[in-house]
Chains A and B, each alone.
Chain A
Amino acid sequence: MDLLLLILTVPFAFGVIMFLMPLHFKFLQTFHILLSVIVSSLLLCAVSKVVNKEVLSLFHDFIFLDSMGAIFLSLIAITGLLANVYATTYMKWELEGGHISLREVKNYFALSFIFTWTMSLSVLCNNIAFMWAAIEATTLASVFLVSVHNDKKSTESGYKYIVLCSIGLAFALYATILLYSAANGKIDGEAMLYTNLLANAASLDPMALKLVFIFALIGFGTKAGLAPTHTWLPDVHAEGPAPTSALLSGVLLKCAMLGLIRYYAVVANGVGFDFVETIMAVSGTLTLFVSAFFLIRQHNVKRMFAYHSIAHMGVIAFGLGVGGAIGLFAALFHCAAHSFTKALAFCSTGNIARIYGTKDMTKMGSMIRIAPLTAVLFGIAICSLVGVPGFAIFVSEFLIFKAAAIDGKYILMGIFAVALAIIFIADFSHFFLASFGKVEGKVEHNGEMKLSENLPLIALAVLIVSFGVWQFDSFTFLLDQSVKTILKQ
């Protein structure tokens, strides 16, 4: 059976199977981990084929996997697996605390496979309209992963999530329709296929492409959390369970960004790179400063990380704005670096919430004594988020500086440096508040989590440090190929 066909069917089938499973937590926990491993293995198998220069396509190129898709598919596989494994531990605590019923846990596990399925579909679609439908489906599949409880806050976050993302994505659909109608009859082959559009971008109407990119930026930018349409993100990421926030921030935002990058490639090759780079630089700058402003004021640990997600989507946009081979390489690398980092950050908030019973950092303190491993993991996430050398995010941020310096974009360098400095100061002050000093509130769980419970977090921390100090040839190959595709070299 074709590997892509398996990827398109297995996660969905696992979701349905999980819905039908008996209400027994130990069984559900083991089964969830087992099925997650199978799904991730399938995804990584497809990625390895792309690394080995195999061309994967299905249904007359309706579905395909290119090097850029392979980068994002590997994020779904790795970050998705670790967040899903952590979810079994997190849900056990929620169940023990009486915050959730066993049926809700089962539904959560089942929906997480449907969510993985929609994200994989969005990455694999060559047909741009179907890619839009898949990205919209990611919202629909994840609403009840966010809105798990029936209380006011949970309902409000679910409401804001679906309403704001649906409005935003409607503009992206208009971009899709306009791009198709601008290309239909003017290019060889099916005008809805991304590969055809990219190959024939130069023959498309420049004015139409400019409008298409603005619509796509509003649409996919809303879903990716770019300012000023980011307002849903802090509420949703802060209110959902920790593993959901890890999945949303670590993987989902990147899937929306992939949609935008595909439009970036087509439009850049149609009207020239200056146009898309200018727009992305403005969008990235706005996003960085808006998030930095809100980040300083945050004392809720999850909201703080949510604003971080916005900031780092701003960094990716900024990388696309700086442009050139190095800027694009940095932007794509940042997608992976931020994915691992943010998954670790949000998963560590799950541990922290268990220790203190609150998300308010002013009521925390002395974490280094209560749960040293969690404090270290939290510290690794913070260090990577602010771009400390030796951690993954430093690599991409350094490369953005390098790309700007090579092109003589010194104003952009200055803007980027100021934004990162604000984020650096805000983050470390928050980290010290939670990790050191006296406990200002109460401690509900006085002790470290079990090593087995912390394993997914440790794996993420290892990935963050590895990507910070090591160059993985296969991953670099995918990045290089993707940059060449965008630049049509």
Chain B
Amino acid sequence: MATINLIDIIAVLMMGTSFAVFSLRQYRHSVLAYALQTLLLVAIFLALYDKYDSHELLVWSVTAFIIKVVCVPLYLLRLIKKLGVVVEDEPVGGFFISPVVALSFSLAVAMMFYKVFIHFSIFKDVLPLFAASFIFMMGIFGFILRTSFLKQILSYCLFENGIHLSLALMAYTSHELVEVGILTDAVFAVIIMSILAKRFYASYGSLNTSKAVNLRG
């Protein structure tokens, strides 16, 4: 019983951290919130391993810790330092409105999705399934509502975490190469987006993607 509660508590904390990654104005704080969220993801993998004796999730937790808790946040912190940026520009709808919009719509979509997912999921844990959809949608709204390139990279990381949690709950028995393939893609995506962010900053003098209006028609 204690383990079940722990999984639910971690799931709620993950949702809270996704809101923090989305809303925090300082890039550094956002990256640290992402690192904390991924640490919670690792914790949920371990808790699921403990509860269901699913050995695969133990391996997943180790790889996720090395790649997503340590390497990706360090890489992003280095990028922030290199660019010398501290706070993001005002996003679409302002700093207050956009988190409220993202939060409410993500909750609504997650309410819809989790009911379908739980029907087919290997693990029938309600809150983690809800959290997975919520985090995924927060990432999608991050892309739509935040105009900072760095925030969009973090949004990518967010929805990738949502997918990773879904994968653990719904398809952890799949071939081990599947997780390797998806993680490799995620890491390369972050690296390539970071290189483009550097180029973007050099070209536009800012990370504000709303300035990218040269290609239209």
- Please give the residue numbers on chain A whose beta carbons come within 8 Å of chain B beta carbons, in ascending order: 62, 127, 129-130, 132-134, 136-137, 140, 143-144, 147, 150-153, 155-160, 162-163, 166-167, 170, 173-174, 177-178, 180-182, 184, 190-192, 205, 207-208, 211, 234-235, 238-239, 294, 297-298, 300, 303
Query: What would be 9 A-B contacts, judged by CB atoms less than 8 Å apart?
Result: A156-B212, A156-B215, A158-B196, A159-B149, A192-B174, A207-B116, A208-B116, A211-B116, A238-B215
Q: With A133-B184, A155-B199, A170-B159 given, is the CB distance from A181 to B116 under 8 Å?
A: no
| B84 interface hit (Cβ, 8 Å) | no
* Pairwise interchain contact B136-A178, C-beta atoms closer than 8 A: no
CA A147 to CA B203, docked complex, whole Å: 13
| B143 interface hit (Cβ, 8 Å) | yes
Secondary structure call for the B interface:
helix
* Pairwise interchain contact B182-A182, C-beta atoms closer than 8 A: no
Whose C-beta in chain B lies nearest to the C-beta of A121?
Answer: B181
* Pairwise interchain contact A133-B181, C-beta atoms closer than 8 A: yes
CA A147 to CA B215, docked complex, whole Å: 13
B residues within 8 A CB of A153? 214-215
* Pairwise interchain contact A152-B120, C-beta atoms closer than 8 A: no
* Pairwise interchain contact A184-B189, C-beta atoms closer than 8 A: no
Task: Count residues of B near A (Cβ-Cβ below 8 Å).
Answer: 44
Q: With A167-B140, A184-B171 given, is the CB distance from A137 to B196 under 8 Å?
A: no
* Pairwise interchain contact B171-A160, C-beta atoms closer than 8 A: no
Q: How far, in Å, is A182 (CB) from chain B's closest CB?
A: 5
| B45 interface hit (Cβ, 8 Å) | no
| B163 interface hit (Cβ, 8 Å) | yes
Q: How far, in Å, is A164 (CB) from chain B's closest CB?
A: 9
A residues within 8 A CB of B47? none
Whose C-beta in chain B lies nearest to the C-beta of A204?
Answer: B120
Whose C-beta in chain B lies nearest to the C-beta of A136?
Answer: B185
CA A170 to CA B143, docked complex, whole Å: 12
- Which residues of B in the span 7-41 have a Cβ within 8 Å of any Cβ on A? none
| B178 interface hit (Cβ, 8 Å) | yes
Q: How many CB-defined contacts (below 8 Å) exist between A and B?
A: 133
B residues within 8 A CB of A136? 185, 189
Q: How far, in Å, is B22 (CB) from chain A's closest CB?
A: 15
Q: With A150-B199, A159-B209, A177-B167 given, is the CB distance from A140 to B215 under 8 Å?
A: no
- Which residues of B in the span 131-178 have a Cβ within 8 Å of any Cβ on A? 136, 139-140, 143, 149, 152, 156, 159-160, 163, 166-167, 170-171, 173-175, 177-178
* Pairwise interchain contact B143-A163, C-beta atoms closer than 8 A: yes
B residues within 8 A CB of A173? 163, 182
* Pairwise interchain contact B181-A130, C-beta atoms closer than 8 A: yes
CA A152 to CA B175, docked complex, whole Å: 42
Q: How far, in Å, is B134 (CB) from chain A's closest CB?
A: 13
* Pairwise interchain contact B178-A205, C-beta atoms closer than 8 A: no
Q: With A157-B215, A162-B192, A181-B122 given, is the CB distance from A62 to B163 under 8 Å?
A: no
Whose C-beta in chain A lies nearest to the C-beta of B139?
Answer: A170
Q: With A158-B196, A177-B171 given, is the CB distance from A133 to B178 under 8 Å?
A: yes
Q: How far, in Å, is B112 (CB) from chain A's closest CB?
A: 11
A residues within 8 A CB of B189? 136, 140, 162, 166
CA A311 to CA B57, docked complex, whole Å: 44
A residues within 8 A CB of B175? 62, 127, 129-130, 190, 192
- Which residues of B in the span 186-217 have a Cβ within 8 Å of any Cβ on A? 188-189, 192-193, 196, 199-200, 202-204, 209, 212, 214-215, 217
CA A69 to CA B182, docked complex, whole Å: 22
* Pairwise interchain contact A147-B196, C-beta atoms closer than 8 A: yes
| B117 interface hit (Cβ, 8 Å) | yes
* Pairwise interchain contact B215-A160, C-beta atoms closer than 8 A: yes
Q: How far, in Å, is B203 (CB) from chain A's closest CB?
A: 5
A residues within 8 A CB of B121? 181
What would 10 more interface pairs be, CB under 8 Å, given A170-B140, A173-B182?
Answer: A129-B171, A130-B177, A134-B181, A152-B204, A160-B215, A162-B196, A163-B193, A173-B163, A178-B120, A192-B178
State the 3 A-B residue pairs at the shortest beta-carbon distance, nearest first. A133-B181, A181-B170, A181-B120
Q: With A140-B185, A190-B175, A192-B174 given, is the CB distance from A174 to B196 under 8 Å?
A: no
Q: How far, in Å, is B32 (CB) from chain A's closest CB?
A: 23
Most central of A62, A130, A150, A182 by chain B CB within 10 Å: A130
* Pairwise interchain contact A235-B120, C-beta atoms closer than 8 A: no
B residues within 8 A CB of A150? 199, 202-203
Whose C-beta in chain B lies nearest to the C-beta of A297?
Answer: B217
A residues within 8 A CB of B140? 167, 170
Q: With A181-B120, A181-B170, A238-B215 given, is the CB distance from A167 to B196 under 8 Å?
A: no
Most central of A151, A157, A192 by chain B CB within 10 Å: A192
Q: How far, in Å, is A31 (CB) from chain B's closest CB?
A: 26
CA A140 to CA B188, docked complex, whole Å: 7
Q: How far, in Å, is B49 (CB) from chain A's closest CB?
A: 18
CA A147 to CA B160, docked complex, whole Å: 24
Q: With A152-B214, A156-B212, A192-B178 given, is the CB distance from A133 to B166 under 8 Å?
A: no
A residues within 8 A CB of B188? 137, 140
CA A174 to CA B27, docked complex, whole Å: 28
CA A133 to CA B179, docked complex, whole Å: 9
Whose C-beta in chain A lies nearest to the C-beta of B166?
Answer: A177
Q: How far, in Å, is A127 (CB) from chain B's closest CB?
A: 6
* Pairwise interchain contact A208-B120, C-beta atoms closer than 8 A: yes
CA A62 to CA B121, docked complex, whole Å: 23
B residues within 8 A CB of A178? 116-117, 120, 170
* Pairwise interchain contact B181-A184, C-beta atoms closer than 8 A: no
* Pairwise interchain contact B163-A177, C-beta atoms closer than 8 A: yes
A residues within 8 A CB of B174? 129, 180, 191-192
Whose C-beta in chain A lies nearest to the C-beta of B153?
Answer: A163
A residues within 8 A CB of B193? 162-163
Whose C-beta in chain A lies nearest to the C-beta of B179?
Answer: A129
CA A117 to CA B159, docked complex, whole Å: 27
